[in-house]
Amino acid sequence: MITSTRASCEDLLIWYDRHARVLPWRVAPADRQAGIRPDPYHVWLSEIMLQQTTVATVKAYFLKFVRLWPRVEDLACAPREDVLAEWAGLGYYARARNLHACAQMVADQYRGAFPDTEEELLKLPGIGPYTAAAIAAIAFDRPAAVMDGNVERVMSRVFAVETPLPEAKPELRRLTGLMTPDQRPGDYAQAVMDLGATLCTPTKPACGICPWQVPCDARAAGIADTLPRKKPKAVKPIRKGFAWVAVNHEEQVWVLRRPDKGLLGGMLAVPTSDWSDDPDPSPPFQADWHERGEVRHTFTHFHLRLSVNVARVSDDRRDMRPLGDVTKEMPTVFAKVLRLVAT
C-alpha cells in the first residue's frame, strides 16, 4: 500500500462548496458558513433511513415523516403502529422500532435535544458508531470520523488500500480519522460522501474531474476502478414458506402483527408458516384454501419463495382490513402477496 499524505481537505471543501448535493435534510455549505445550523432531528432521521437504503428512496420517506411529525417530540408521542405503517416499504424494520424508541428517549431523558457527542449518542437505541459519528459531525460540527460505504471507497482509492473488505475496515477507519479536519468537519464528512456518490463511484470513477485526482494513489497506480477489493459473496440460501390470505365478502383481508423479535418484527402481515427448507404447510385454521401462486422476495441473507394460499371466509374475524388499503402498511414481501391475490 502506498501511503499518500498529499490529499487536501481544503481542495475537497472548495469542490463541495460548488457541487454539494441538494438534499431535503441538508443545510447548504453557504448557509452553514452564514451561521445556519442543521436540525439534529433531521440529521438523525435521515441517517437512520439511509442505512442500507439509497438517497433516492429515502427522500420521499423523510419528507413524509417530517410532515407528519415535525419535531422529535411529535414522533415520540405517535403510536408505534403508525410509525411502523409509515415506514412500510423502507425495509430493515428494526430501524423503525429503534427510531420510535430513540425518539421517546430523546424526548423524555434529553428534553427533546439530541446529545452532541459520540459517547452520548451511542447510548441511544439504534445508533451505532457510524451514525453517532455522522450526527456529531454533521449536526454539531464535532471532528468525528464518519465512514460509510462511500467514504470507504474514497479512502481505499486515495491511499491505495488493496486489503479486501471487510478486513480493510480498521485501516480505512484509521485513515478516515487522520483525514478528518478540526475546521468544518461536518461539511468535510458530507463532502467525502458526496465525492463517493457522484464522482468516485463503484464503476467508472470520474477521475478526470475529481478534486483529489492528483494525490490519489490508486489513480496513479492505474487501479482506482478495482478498489475497494472485496471477498467473493457467499451464495444466498433459498428458504420456502406458505402464506395464508383469508378474504371476506367485503374484500377485507385477515391481518396480524408479527412478534417484535425476529425478521420484520412488529410489522403488519398475513399469517405465514416458518421460513425454512421444510416449512410446516398447516394453515392457521380450516377453510377451503386454494393455491394462488408463488411470491419471490430477497432479504439480506436469503431468498424467499412463498406459496400463496387464499380462502374465502364468511365469518367476521378480528383484524380484517380492506385489502387495497392494508397493502400500503405492510413490508414489501407481504405487499407482493396481497397484490398477487388482488389480480
Cell numbers 427448507 correspond to: 277
Q: What type of residue is 226?
A: T
Residue 329: strand pairing partners? none
Angle at 36 between CA 128 and CA 211, to 5 degrees: 70
> Within the chain, what is the greatest distance between any pair of CA atoms?
74
- Give residues with Cβ within 8 angstroms of 78, minimum separation 6: 68, 69, 100
DSSP state of 27: P
Residue 248: strand pairing partners? none
Q: Is 152 a catalytic residue?
A: no
Angle at 253 between CA 248 and CA 259, to 5 degrees: 140
The β-bridge relationship of strands 303-312 and 256-257 is unpaired
Which residue out of 47, 86, 118, 152 is catalytically annotated? 47
The number of angstroms, rounded, from the C-alpha of 48 to the middle of its chain's C-alpha atoms is 6
Angle at 1 between CA 3 and CA 128, to 5 degrees: 80
Calculate the alpha carbon distances from 280 to 75, 245, 271 in Å: 39, 16, 12
Cell numbers 465525492 correspond to: 195
The number of angstroms, rounded, from the C-alpha of 149 to the middle of its chain's C-alpha atoms is 12
Q: Are 41 and 24 in contact (CB under 8 A)?
A: no
Output the 3-class SS for 43-88. HHHHHHHHCCCCHHHHHHHHHHHHHHCCCHHHHHHCCHHHHHHHHC
Length of the chain as a residue count: 343
First to last CA, the chain: 57
Q: Are 46 and 27 in contact (CB under 8 A)?
A: no
Question: Active-site positions?
Answer: 47
